Structure 1
Amino acid sequence: MSRVEPRADVVIVGGGVIGSAAAWRLATRGKSVTLLEQFEPGHRRGASHGSSRIYRQAYDGEFYTALAGRALPLWRHLQDTTGTEVLTLTGAVDHGLPAVVELRARSLAALGIRHEVLEPCSAERRWPGIRFDTAVVHHPEAGRLHADRAVAAFQEAAAQAGADVRHGIVVESLHSHGHGVDVVTPDAVVRGRHVVVAAGAWSHRLLTRASDPAPRLPAMRTTQEQPAHFVPVTGPDWPSFVHHPGALLTTAGIYGLGSEDGIKIGEHGTGPEVTPETRTFRADPAGVARLAAYAARWLPGVDPGSAVADTCLYTSTPDSNFVVDRIGAVVVAAGFSGHGFKFAPAIGELIAGLVEGTAVAPEPFRFGTREAVTAR
């Protein structure tokens, strides 16, 4: 018979960036928190590993721009709390289809965020490693996050605040009852007054095993994506960048940024559909060839023949909006792949508010069906 542990205020299932950020924000509010992660620290099986993610505030509407703005002081607070540098401000640029770039400039302007609109030739003089397409907007309070260090820092800060952070714990099922939720593992029943499911590509499967009431999740798609790192041949002054298709770029959109591993570029959601068990960890040669061709055309500051590909799981909703909502004692945080990492500490704050009953899910994040739209 499995042992039954004393009831915690909150049990969090999933120790990626979102679950770890939630553990930190909940523990700092005085909650007793148990964080359960199925793999070892620093593992590469999910969506939160690696040396780099983009931090930017430029979006096509004020909702995400404001959310990214709320995350920025929390990233800085995390650094101060742990003494770990996770955020480097290099600035960020969007370029490509003018209508798309102009929407981002308007969102930044509406919220009073410092930015500038540039001609491609001016942008190329400033950042000679990049060729720019048609319309350009730059905002300086942007840059990159170190993914591995960020996850570790969230867990360290959570532990400092009293959270119990455990690795190598597989959650088999959830059972809701009048006193909270029983989280069943092979060796124990971990009881919580609330549970937060932030298990990435494993979330949907786990929630199908949960007792009523069950959340109505939108259909989510998991793919194996394959960004690649290229050796730079120009100096270190690389902004984060997003190249939107529709002007001179007629293929998929591209994101990119500098990192400790080189200049990283990738496509958005173009990899093969997989499950956590069927992913191969092998990059598709055709996808790598597309990135090399892009680098040869648009990135004079890299060696296009130097691609080193990586893979990661990428779980997203049809409309690219996240799921962050509560039903009963269960809070679900899912569908963050593609653009969610930058928001992690602000999402952690929202999760804490949902647990406490002091916040409600924003309309874009609520349970229910979603219509497919172009990615932001």
Structure 2
Amino acid sequence: MIDTFDVIVIGGGAIGLATAYNLAGNKAKTLVLERFTFLNELGSSAGVSRQFRIPYPEPYMVEMALKATPLWDALQEETDKPLREFVGTLWFGDPTVHSTEGNIGAAETALQAKKVKFTTLKARDIEERFNFRDLPSTYVGLFQPNGASIDLKATIETLLQASQASPHVTLKEDSRVVGIRQRGKTFEVSTRHGTYTCEKLVLTPGPYIDEVVRLLGFETKLIYWNMSSCYFKKTDPNVTYPTWFVFQNPVHTNGNQFYGFPEVSWDRPGYIRTAPDFVMKPLTEPSQRTSVPNVDELRYTSEWVRRHMRGLDPKPHFATTCFVALSEEQNKELIIDFAPPYVHNHTNIVIYATGWAGKFVPLIGRILSDLTLHGRTDYDISEFRMGDKIFAPL
């Protein structure tokens, strides 16, 4: 006897569970298949903290952050654990730099367009207010007070517990998908433990997306990154930081852009996390993923901390990695679309691929649920409908 569902979600990370959470709210009989175990750190859900921020260089991304806010508030009602700690967001650095994160001036314009309040800062203001030091006098910054550190682990646990409690959701881990067949309007999804059928598919396997979509006859154009992350011990207990990002020009192989998180109770209290926003040796396939950071990336990060941050031991006491796939399309972090038209029944296959979406978890879960159940969403996702550019037939 084959179990039948309305929807099968392939990938049980933050986005997959957020989708199941919203599908359950619509009473859709849902199966979530996770290739590893739930709450694993083998994909882009690795690491405990994420940044919630409103500054972006594009108005549509600012709008995404604003739309996500009430959905974060609603998810918070599901748990007593704080999912976000509001510490503010600081963007600073060389105002002429255009990076993968955009440009400071463009972010100011986008915030103004959406009537979001922020403070403009000079280099000395940044040093005096936020404990940075020895910044070039030409650096500028903006501070937006609604930025937060997201407790990603607690977020995923909340979504998992809500799914476990729902009569509409079935969860199966250690369930790598090895086959997808179509019979008319029905999908047959096979794992080594069994076969399940459904009318709708949602694909949210993170950087393992190609392993799944190749079963449907196409693949993606992606770049794989094994991002490093370091924890620096506080030597001054009174030093605090917001979430932050610094814009600087590359120096040879050093991308020279870094971002960081404040001390939080849920992620190594007494330590500040700082990470390089560049990868010196990109990967070509998921099997190359490792938990060991690139030593040169760690060295550059330690040197930046030593030169520019107060109250920290510049030696990283802990180091981790986060494995993520990014689109080859420049400045397109998130891809949300249906399967390409040459795939049979393509409008019943909804795909989330690439990028970091920790700050948008409840919103993307709502969007994917809308697309799955109704074929449309009230949220503007025109900038993320990039399947025609990143999906290619085998």
Alignment partners' CA distance in 1, 2:372 and 2:125: 48
Give the TM-score normalised by the residue count of structure 2. Answer: 0.85
Cross-structure match for 2:86: 89
Cross-structure match for 2:336: 324
Matched, 1:152 2:157: yes
Cross-structure match for 2:224: 222
Q: Which has the higher strand share?
A: 2
Cα drift, residue 358 of structure 1: 2.8
Contact persistence 2:186–2:197 (CA under 8 A)? yes
Cα drift, residue 200 of structure 1: 1.2
Contact persistence 1:40–1:168 (CA under 8 A)? yes
Cross-structure match for 1:170: 176
Contact persistence 2:239–2:311 (CA under 8 A)? no
Contact persistence 2:131–2:239 (CA under 8 A)? no
Matched, 1:209 2:228: no
Matched, 1:346 2:346: no
Alignment partners' CA distance in 2, 1:305 and 1:187: 46
Mean Cα displacement is larger for which, 281-290 or 130-139?
Answer: 130-139
Cα drift, residue 109 of structure 1: 1.5
Contact persistence 2:85–2:149 (CA under 8 A)? yes
Q: What do residues 196-233 of structure 1 show as CA deviations (whole Å, max 9, x unaligned)? A: 111012111211112xxx56x54111122211111123
Matched, 1:184 2:194: no
Q: Number of matched residues?
A: 361
Alignment partners' CA distance in 1, 2:134 and 2:151: 25
Q: Determine helix, strand or coil for the equivalent of 1:311.
A: strand
Aligned pairs for 1:272-291 (under 5 A) are 272-274=281-283, 275-291=285-301
Q: Determine helix, strand or coil for the equivalent of 2:48.
A: coil
Percent same amino acid among aligned pairs?
20
- Structure 2: stretches of 5+ with no match in the other structure: 97-102, 340-345
Cross-structure match for 2:117: 114
Alignment partners' CA distance in 1, 2:38 and 2:242: 29
Cα drift, residue 49 of structure 1: 2.5
Cross-structure match for 1:256: 260
Cα drift, residue 366 of structure 1: 2.5
Alignment partners' CA distance in 2, 1:273 and 1:306: 22
**CA 1:321–1:225 in structure 2 vs 1: closer, same or farther (change >3 Å)?**
closer
Alignment partners' CA distance in 2, 1:272 and 1:198: 25
Q: Determine helix, strand or coil for the equivalent of 2:141.
A: strand
2:382 to 351, 362, 368: 362
Alignment partners' CA distance in 1, 2:184 and 2:133: 58
Cα drift, residue 248 of structure 1: 11
**CA 1:97–1:127 in structure 2 vs 1: closer, same or farther (change >3 Å)?**
same
Give the TM-score normalised by the residue count of structure 1. Answer: 0.89
Aligned pairs for 1:51-130 (under 5 A) are 51-99=48-96, 100-129=103-132
**CA 1:10–1:236 in structure 2 vs 1: closer, same or farther (change >3 Å)?**
farther
Alignment partners' CA distance in 2, 1:353 and 1:309: 38
1:14 to 4, 11, 14: 11
Cα drift, residue 321 of structure 1: 2.8
Q: Determine helix, strand or coil for the equivalent of 1:95.
A: strand
Contact persistence 1:218–1:368 (CA under 8 A)? no
Contact persistence 1:39–1:167 (CA under 8 A)? yes
Cα drift, residue 132 of structure 1: 5.1
Cross-structure match for 2:2: 4
**CA 1:247–1:323 in structure 2 vs 1: closer, same or farther (change >3 Å)?**
closer
Cross-structure match for 2:342: none
Q: Please tell me the residue identity of whatever aligns with 1:369.
A: K
Cα drift, residue 84 of structure 1: 2.6
Alignment partners' CA distance in 2, 1:70 and 1:86: 17
**CA 1:160–1:310 in structure 2 vs 1: closer, same or farther (change >3 Å)?**
same
Q: Please tell me the residue identity of whatever aligns with 2:349.
A: V
**CA 1:236–1:34 in structure 2 vs 1: closer, same or farther (change >3 Å)?**
farther
Q: Please tell me the residue identity of whatever aligns with 1:256.
A: G
Contact persistence 2:17–2:163 (CA under 8 A)? yes
Q: Please tell me the residue identity of whatever aligns with 1:364.
A: F
Contact persistence 2:122–2:140 (CA under 8 A)? yes
Cα drift, residue 285 of structure 1: 1.5
Contact persistence 1:50–1:146 (CA under 8 A)? no
**CA 1:209–1:65 in structure 2 vs 1: closer, same or farther (change >3 Å)?**
same
Q: Determine helix, strand or coil for the equivalent of 2:304.
A: helix
**CA 1:66–1:132 in structure 2 vs 1: closer, same or farther (change >3 Å)?**
farther
Q: Determine helix, strand or coil for the equivalent of 1:141.
A: coil
1:137 to 129, 142, 158: 142
Alignment partners' CA distance in 2, 1:236 and 1:21: 35
Alignment partners' CA distance in 1, 2:149 and 2:214: 35
Contact persistence 2:250–2:257 (CA under 8 A)? no
- Structure 1: stretches of 5+ with no match in the other structure: 371-376
**CA 1:108–1:233 in structure 2 vs 1: closer, same or farther (change >3 Å)?**
farther
Cross-structure match for 2:235: 233
